[in-house]
Amino acid sequence: MAGDDGFRLPVKPLTPVQRRLIEPLDQDDQALSFQYVVLCHVGLPYRDPGDGVREWKRTQGAASLLVEAGQARHPLRDEWVKVGLPWGSKPRLILAHLNAEALRQGSPEIEVETSLTAFVRRIRGFRHGRETRAFKEQLTRLSNATVRLALNRGHDAFQINTQIIGAFHLWPEKDERQRVLWPSTIRLSLDYFASLQKNAVPLNEADLGALAHSAMALDVYAWLAHRLYRIDPHKPAFISWAALKDQFGPDYGRMRAFKAFFRTTLRAVLIRYQHARIELDDQGMTAHCSPPPVRSRFGFIRGAKALPPL
């Protein structure tokens, strides 16, 4: 790029996040991940709530989520070790991977030591151990968490108490000073697996990799993937800023700060989900009926149990 004086101005190089966002997607070779339909509307903490926080509550529309941190029996110390709550983008990516592996194999039992490492390398491009260890720590937290899910429709209420991961085989870290206990094999709970087979929302794995820097971006992408195709083609859906903040930004004290961050996040999501028809103004979001990001597998989400409009 040349300036007015004829000299070439330096071009700022793209960051790794920017490069991943604009990386073209081969429509003929799309690796799929899946998210459970309810978790497209209520999600885990974005930030580390700290070791002292042992439960997490979220409510959105008819869906309520309560996640309780658990404990794992250390095979060498012969004692129970407290494990924190899962948080951030990693458990969201892990769930998408576990869901995909379970559906692909038709079995709730998954060998994660090899498959998770390969998944991390595919979507993040990392080949060193530190990133893989961080994913495995979040897998340990997710494996031990108890999930309570309630769906309320009028005077009727339906509640499920389960662990998404019903059983796992632990192996301890070689360094005994570390508290991380890594599951090498996991088995999804039968209730969760049976429901997942009917309520899985397909997502592009490459999109998840491009958005993996932001837990909010992953949530917005999954939400739009399930929400937009269900909108009446003749009646756009309006979501106020207050509703958007309640769903995606309850930790933000000021609406102005949330709006700025949400706009930035949405721009990143729409780079990947280019068929999403959305408009933002001072009042909120107007969403139009749009094709889902994975149209070749549209049948997977036809049978998903629809939540009441948000």
Q: Does residue 252 surpass a pLDDT of 60? A: yes
Question: Would you say residue 130 lies in a domain?
Answer: yes
Give every CB contact of residue 51 below 8 A, 6+ residues apart in sequence: 82, 84
Report the pLDDT averaged over residues 293-300: 60
Question: Would you say residue 10 lies in a domain?
Answer: no
Question: Would you say residue 7 lies in a domain?
Answer: no
Q: Does residue 12 surpass a pLDDT of 60? A: no
pLDDT of residue 292: 94
Domain with 230, as residue range(s), is 16-21+28-302
**Which of 75-79, 163-167, 270-274 is predicted most confidently?**
270-274
Q: Does residue 45 surpass a pLDDT of 90? A: yes
Q: State how far the Cα of 228 lies from the Cα of 39, in Å rounded to an integer.
A: 16
Average pLDDT over the chain reads 81
Question: Would you say residue 161 lies in a domain?
Answer: yes
Q: Does residue 29 surpass a pLDDT of 90? A: no
Question: Would you say residue 278 lies in a domain?
Answer: yes
pTM for the full predicted model: 0.83
* HEC assignment per residue over the chain: CECCCCCECCCCCCCHHHHHHHCCCCCCCCCEEEEEHHHHCCCCCCCCCCCCCCEEEEEECCEEEEEECCEEEECCCCEEEECCCCCCHHHHHHHHHHHHHHHHHCCCEEEHHHHHHHHHHHHHCCCCHHHHHHHHHHHHHHHHCEEEEEEEECCEEEEEEECCEEEEEEEECCCCCCCCEEEEEEEECHHHHHHHHHCEEEEEHHHHHHCCCCHHHHHHHHHHHHHHHHCCCCCCEEEEHHHHHHHHCCCCCCHHHHHHHHHHHHHHHHHHCCCCCEEECCCEEEECCCCCCCCCCCHHHHCCCCCCCC
> What percent of the chain has pLDDT above 70?
75
Give every CB contact of residue 123 below 8 A, 6+ residues apart in sequence: 93, 205, 206, 208, 209, 212
Q: Does residue 306 surpass a pLDDT of 60? A: no
Question: Would you say residue 282 lies in a domain?
Answer: yes
Give every CB contact of residue 197 below 8 A, 6+ residues apart in sequence: 103
Number of domains in the chain: 1
Q: Does residue 299 surpass a pLDDT of 90? A: no
Q: State how far the Cα of 142 lies from the Cα of 227, in Å rounded to an integer.
A: 26
Report the pLDDT averaged over residues 68-81: 83
| Residue 139 CB-density burial (10 A; 0-12 exposed, 13-18 middle, 19+ buried) | buried
Question: Would you say residue 94 lies in a domain?
Answer: yes
Cα dihedral 100/105/106/110 (nearest 10): -70
pLDDT tens figures, 197-240: 988 999 999 999 999 999 999 999 999 999 999 999 999 999 99
Question: Would you say residue 76 lies in a domain?
Answer: yes
CB 151 within 8 A of CB 62: yes
CB 258 within 8 A of CB 216: no
Confidence label for 18 from pLDDT (cuts 50, 70 and 90): low
